[in-house]
Structure 1
Amino acid sequence: MNNYFLLLFLLIFSTANAQISEKKLKKHVHYLAADKMKGRQTGSAEAETAATYIEAQFRKYGLTPLGTNAFRQSFEAKVKRVAVTDSIRKAANIIGFLNNDAPYTIVVGAHYDHIGYGELGNSKDSLNIGKIHNGADDNASGVAGLLELAKYYAKNGVKERFNLLFIAFGAEELGLLGSKYFVEHPTVAFNTIHWMLNMDMIGRYHPSNGVAVIGYGTSSSFPEIFKGVTSGIKFYTSRDGSGGSDQTSFYKKNIPVLFFHTGGHPDYHKTGDDADKIDFNALRVILELEIRVIDRSMNVPKMDFTPTN
């Protein structure tokens, strides 16, 4: 009887651990987008702190390090928009692998850098350059989603039919540099990538707009994958595979992609992009939608690629 209750407890604990947690989403966003993180600009001590935080979560979930130095894939990022004395900066992708002994791998990504004090030419807030741009939606929301998806698949008690590679990209705000570096120096065999899911700005859901799912046209398999998929939030699909975020780097290498995005807002690249404006309930529902899409994609032996532009 004691063994029975122990097993029941472990089952309940494991099931609860695998759920998408609004509490954890809130914790991640508030940590990454706090004033003390100073906008997580590439090359800063705060970007390093964010990278260390993501590493710690990957380690906690039991992911296998798949960078070039444990979870790290280090590279140099160049500032191009403005002239600065430290134009070459240290950056890193943080890469964790869920090995299911499968022949193919699904990549899930989100960038963790933001624009600091807005002084590198990428602020939309000309009156407040020199003040902290916290980047809660852009892209602490996506990183929170990345971490919760990593936890879900690592803790759900299921050995999936595909491996999953979770990547927190560095230096996206300087021109998609982290994802560009990864596709040129992949840490898995590139021809084994099934498809790539990217999250960038998924925290400001508005019912009148819904969630954009960009990249629907990049594989002939996506229409069947989405057939019958429903959600508690409004979403719509868009064919294009490139534009605006890290999925573009994969699309240009003939990898099918989906990019989840809740759209622009008045705080984009401004000082008002703060954690208290994130809709955590909608963020959770978006991730649950992504899980349905990922799971259904595992019914396809290997995704084909279709160029859209």
Structure 2
Amino acid sequence: MKKSWLLLVCAAGLYTSALAQDTIPDAKRIQGIVNYLASDKLKGRGTAEKGGLKASRFVAKQFKKLGLKTINGNSYFQDFTFNKNAHKDIPSRNVIGFLDNGAARTIIIGAHYDHLGTAALFDGKYPVGQIHNGADDNASGVAGLLELAHYYVNNHTPEPFNFLFIAFGGEELGLQGSKYYTAHPLMPLDKVHFMLNMDMIGHYNPERGIGIGGYGSAAEWPAVFKEAQQPGIKFFTDAAGKGASDHHNFYVNGVPVMFFHTGGHDDYHKPTDDAPKLQAAAEANIIRLEIQLINRAMTFPELHYVGEKQS
């Protein structure tokens, strides 16, 4: 057997075993997902490249195995095209799974699955032909997305909100997936409780801690954050709802946001952003902190948005 095929089999099996036996974020499961998504087989998950399509199909398979529903007909995919500089009609897709709890409002959990691929669409900004595996950016976020889906699907306590899990395409080329989704939402944006975005959560620096953006986007966030803590994780907040990741498009469309990011590092947007460098145990603790904050946010029937909608 080829090593790459074994990676696919192992990663695909992670969510089929013992789903009901544990709902706590698991470092081994996180590492396994990142090992596959950031493997050379996917060649950096570039938009409009075969590896990007494989990544989207992989996420859809995990959504199906977890029992998430489709809300775009019978498909987990929301296909779209966009233009970028001299490149026209670039194809991409969002991958969307729905946990229907019969609630009036919905929480959106998001992370982009694309990376630079072999850099063909970046007009020479990055070394063309080299594989940019993007383990931290953003296989780590996709692993977090799947862990949160795993947790809330298997949580035995009925939640008072629905959950919409979105793996965005085209983020590296201008937040294209979230831009398309907010322009063509599959459920009303005014029924979204808040949007939580994970982008680069796999290189935890204990001196810095993890930054959480969007603290100023809802009047209730100070109360939600007041007593939140997670052993082994230090965090700080940033009021800004705008930013260089997919939460931005939700914020400017009137949705409260939280944005999790462990910070920049020397491997950012380089071919050296590889899976062995992931800090999976720290990421599992970050996801535990996210669960605390999500659960605290669910004690409020509605959050009051603070910011500016697009004119």
Q: Which residue of 1 aligns with 2:8?
A: none
Q: Is the 8 A contact 2:254 2:308 kept in 1?
A: no
The one-character-per-residue Cα deviations of 1:269-299 (angstroms, maximum 9, x if unpaired) are 1111000111001000000000000000001
**Cα offset for 1:190?**
1.6
Question: Aligned letter for 1:113?
Answer: D
Q: Which residue of 2 aligns with 1:254?
A: 254
1:239 and 1:122 map into 2 onto residues whose CA distance is: 34
**Cα offset for 1:119?**
3.4
The one-character-per-residue Cα deviations of 1:124-178 (angstroms, maximum 9, x if unpaired) are 6x5x432100000000000000001001100112210111100000100110010
Q: Which residue of 2 aligns with 1:183?
A: 182
2:41 and 2:102 map into 1 onto residues whose CA distance is: 41
Q: Which residue of 1 aligns with 2:67?
A: 62
Deviates most, 65-74 or 39-48:
65-74
1:225 and 1:172 map into 2 onto residues whose CA distance is: 28
Q: Which residue of 2 aligns with 1:4?
A: none
The one-character-per-residue Cα deviations of 1:190-214 (angstroms, maximum 9, x if unpaired) are 2110000000000000111110000
The one-character-per-residue Cα deviations of 1:227-284 (angstroms, maximum 9, x if unpaired) are 1111121100000001110000000101100100000001111111000111001000
Aligned residue pairs total 291
SS of corresponding position for 1:91: strand
Q: Is the 8 A contact 1:218 1:308 kept in 2?
A: no
Q: TM-score, normalised by structure 2?
A: 0.90
Q: Is the 8 A contact 1:194 1:256 kept in 2?
A: yes
**Cα offset for 1:17?**
2.9
Question: Aligned letter for 1:108?
Answer: I
2:72 and 2:278 map into 1 onto residues whose CA distance is: 31
SS of corresponding position for 1:216: coil
Q: Which residue of 2 aligns with 1:111?
A: 112
1:269 and 1:294 map into 2 onto residues whose CA distance is: 30
Q: Which residue of 1 aligns with 2:44?
A: 39
1:236 and 1:157 map into 2 onto residues whose CA distance is: 31
1:241 and 1:73 map into 2 onto residues whose CA distance is: 25
Q: Which residue of 2 aligns with 1:235?
A: 235
Summarize the Cα distance change of 1:14–1:200 in structure 2 as closer, same or farther, 3 Å threshold. Answer: closer
Q: Is the 8 A contact 1:67 1:94 kept in 2?
A: no
Q: CA RMSD in A?
A: 1.6
Point out the structure with max Rg over C-alpha: 1
Q: Is the 8 A contact 2:51 2:117 kept in 1?
A: no
Q: Which residue of 2 aligns with 1:278?
A: 278
SS of corresponding position for 1:217: coil
Q: Which residue of 2 aligns with 1:8?
A: none
The one-character-per-residue Cα deviations of 1:46-72 (angstroms, maximum 9, x if unpaired) are 111101100111011111112355111
**Cα offset for 1:118?**
2.3
Q: How does 1:151-190 map to 2 (within 5 A)?
A: 151-190=150-189
1:76 and 1:205 map into 2 onto residues whose CA distance is: 34
Is 1:212 the counterpart of 2:237? The answer is: no
Is 1:245 the counterpart of 2:245? The answer is: yes
Q: How does 1:87-106 map to 2 (within 5 A)?
A: 87-106=88-107
SS of corresponding position for 2:131: coil
**Cα offset for 1:308?**
7.6
Deviates most, 61-70 or 243-252:
61-70
Q: Which residue of 2 aligns with 1:143?
A: 142
Q: Which residue of 2 aligns with 1:10?
A: none
Q: Is the 8 A contact 1:67 1:96 kept in 2?
A: no
Summarize the Cα distance change of 1:122–1:268 in structure 2 as closer, same or farther, 3 Å threshold. Answer: farther
Question: Aligned letter for 1:41?
Answer: G
Question: Aligned letter for 2:247?
Answer: Q
Which residues of structure 2 form unaligned runs of 5+?
1-17
Summarize the Cα distance change of 1:122–1:167 in structure 2 as closer, same or farther, 3 Å threshold. Answer: farther
1:138 and 1:250 map into 2 onto residues whose CA distance is: 20
